[in-house]
Amino acid sequence: MSVDSSPEAQTAPATPQQSLSTAAARNLATTTKSAPQMQEITSRWLLRMLPWVEAEGGAYRVNRRLRHTLGNGRIGFVQEGATVRVIPQELGELAFLRGFEDRDVLDALADRCAQRDFTAGEVLVERGSPADRIHLIAHGRVSQTSEGRYGGKTTIAVLADGEHFGENALSDPDARHDCTVTAETAGTLLTLSRADFTAVQATAPHLRAHIDEFASRTRRPQNKHGEARITVAAGHVGEPDLPGTFVDYELQPREYELSVAQTVLRVHTRVADLYNGPMNQSEEQLRLTVEALRERQEHELINNREFGLLHNADFKQRIQPRHGPPTPDDMDDLLCRRRGTKMFLAHPRTIAAIGRGFNACGLHPDQVDLDGQSVPAWRGVPILPCNKIPISKEQTSSIIAMRTGETSQGVIGLRRTGLLDEYEPGLSVRFMGINEQAIISYLVSTYFSAAVLLPDALGVMENVQVAPRAS
């Protein structure tokens, strides 16, 4: 008997299809679908927490008492290989040179600055030693320590890039260092000796006149905040003559003009006419565009060089962490510099670093309820995430602390509502027409800014290490 060994004989006959396939059925089905999703959307806590104030004229003027404190800015440097030089105009950030604009004299002072490289752990100056030069920190971190009343060392401050110490050495021949300065990292500083400064001053009489005028201003009565003093008598008896006084104001108060974020949204009429079910295409396009504008708005409130929080914190309100990663002590230092701190803002990775620092000390952040959400906090002040705060290539970032509201003399957001074709408060969507390609255009605009009413309303801890240390 023969056997058929062909492939056709060995293949079993296919079972005939007995019902409609799911692939074919989907041609007649209505698919359940989501609205368009967008990964860029964040919690935007800053926009939610800032009190918004109307700037009806497109600007907001911050009037303050007259302050005599001048020249507290940071100094800039240029680097050519291993050589570092101070930018001459940046010497105007020193208090006694603020407003002095003679380029030749500033060039002469910059040329006399001597470079000094230092290593981690090196003692730069000793407490009580004669002070004969000013030190300008080009790069690196140093700590100022002194003897505590009960023994041991007390950390006074941590200084970093652009800051300086020993300024009084240039004017006082009997000056001595009131603290020990130790390098925490390797770095570079420039020094200007009293002898070199006096030599330049001898050839520039107008520099001497400028310094004398500065000295007369600093001798004016002022309080610990640098404001013109309001003289008040207290504790007297009988009928003594009471002092007369008045409250002096800044003659040129700062004005914050509203900034703008805009884009043109384009939708083809064919899309708007034919593909609007079950979701309105124009509305979904507009919703995602508004989300992107709000994200950019928060980015500008943090990073804009004119009004952004990182660039508008007073230099006296900027601190450095003691050892790099944030610790509870560092958070307390940032918190204690202002009354009524409303919130901390930090990058999510920085918040993780805060948690590691707390864990290392056997502590953990509190939890507080904010708008129905449980968020970490320290001393009852919420620590809110904001991914708009940048992280440097060295894996360092900043932590922002602020007091908010006009009544608290804090930080406020500025906006203008009641706009033509307003879509949301402070945001308008204006129809621009249809072009010859049948494309509809909408101008989407939002106007905003932020104002710091008092210098102590806003503080920043800079150069916070966010990457975990290698074990």
Q: Where are the alpha helices (DSSP H) in 137-245?
A: 194-202, 205-218
C-alpha dihedral sign at 159, 161, 167, 173 = positive
**Taking the model in full, what pTM does it have?**
0.76
Q: What is the pLDDT of residue 20?
A: 66
DSSP 335-367: HTTSSS--EEEE-HHHHHHHHHHHHHTT---EE
394-to-7, 170, 387, 466 alpha-carbon distances in Å: 68, 35, 17, 9
Cα separation, 346 vs 350, in Å, equals 6
Q: Do the beta carbons of residue 84 and residue 140 sit within 8 Å?
A: no
The residue among 375, 374, 378, 353 whose CA lies nearest residue 364 is 378
32 φ/ψ angles, rounded to the nearest 5 degrees = -80, 125
Q: Long-range contacts of range 418-422, CB-CB < 8 Å, 24 or more positions apart?
A: 419/445, 419/447
Query: Which residues fall within 8 angstroms of residue 186, CB to CB, at 6 or more apart?
Result: 117, 118, 119, 120, 140
Q: Do the beta carbons of residue 135 and residue 188 sit within 8 Å?
A: no
The residue among 427, 405, 406, 407 whose CA lies nearest residue 416 is 427
Q: Do the beta carbons of residue 159 and residue 141 sit within 8 Å?
A: yes
Question: Encoding tokens for residue 377?
Answer: 């906090």
Interhelix angle 194-202/205-218, rounded to 10 degrees, is 120
452 φ/ψ angles, rounded to the nearest 5 degrees = -105, 110
What is the Cα Rg of the chain in Å? 31
* Cis? peptide before 455, omega within 30° of 0: no
Half-sphere exposure in the Cβ direction for 318 (13 Å, CA)? 20
Q: What is the pLDDT of residue 228?
A: 64
Cα separation, 293 vs 213, in Å, equals 49
Query: Which residues fall within 8 angstroms of residue 159, CB to CB, at 6 or more apart?
Result: 137, 141, 142, 143, 144, 165, 320
Cα separation, 71 vs 168, in Å, equals 14
pLDDT digits (tens, 9 = 90+) for 231-240: 676 766 777 7
Cα separation, 167 vs 246, in Å, equals 32
Cα separation, 454 vs 408, in Å, equals 10
DSSP type of residue 443:
E
3-class SS of residue 294:
helix
The sheet with strand 458-465 has its strands ordered as: 318-319, 458-465, 396-402, 343-346, 381-385, 373-378, 366-370
Q: Is 101 left (phi over 0), alpha (psi -120 to 50) or beta?
A: alpha
C-alpha dihedral sign at 120, 334, 296, 38 = positive
Cα angle 316, 322, 328; round to 5:
95
Q: Do the beta carbons of residue 423 and residue 417 sit within 8 Å?
A: no
Other CB atoms within 10 Å distance of the CB of residue 206:
11
Q: What is the pLDDT of residue 315?
A: 77
The residue among 306, 296, 357 whose CA lies nearest residue 44 is 296
Instruction: Give the H or E element holding residue 164.
Output: strand 164-165
Q: What is the pLDDT of residue 17?
A: 79
Q: Do the beta carbons of residue 256 and residue 308 sit within 8 Å?
A: no
Q: Mean pLDDT, consecutive 10-residue segments, the chain of 471 residues?
A: 56 71 77 86 93 92 69 74 84 83 89 91 91 90 86 84 87 87 90 91 86 67 64 71 67 88 93 84 92 96 94 86 91 93 96 93 90 92 96 93 95 94 94 93 95 93 87 60
Q: What is the pLDDT of residue 2?
A: 54
C-alpha dihedral sign at 80, 83, 89, 93 = positive
Q: What is the pLDDT of residue 391?
A: 95
Question: Encoding tokens for residue 79?
Answer: 């680097």
The residue among 111, 110, 113, 116 whose CA lies nearest residue 89 is 110
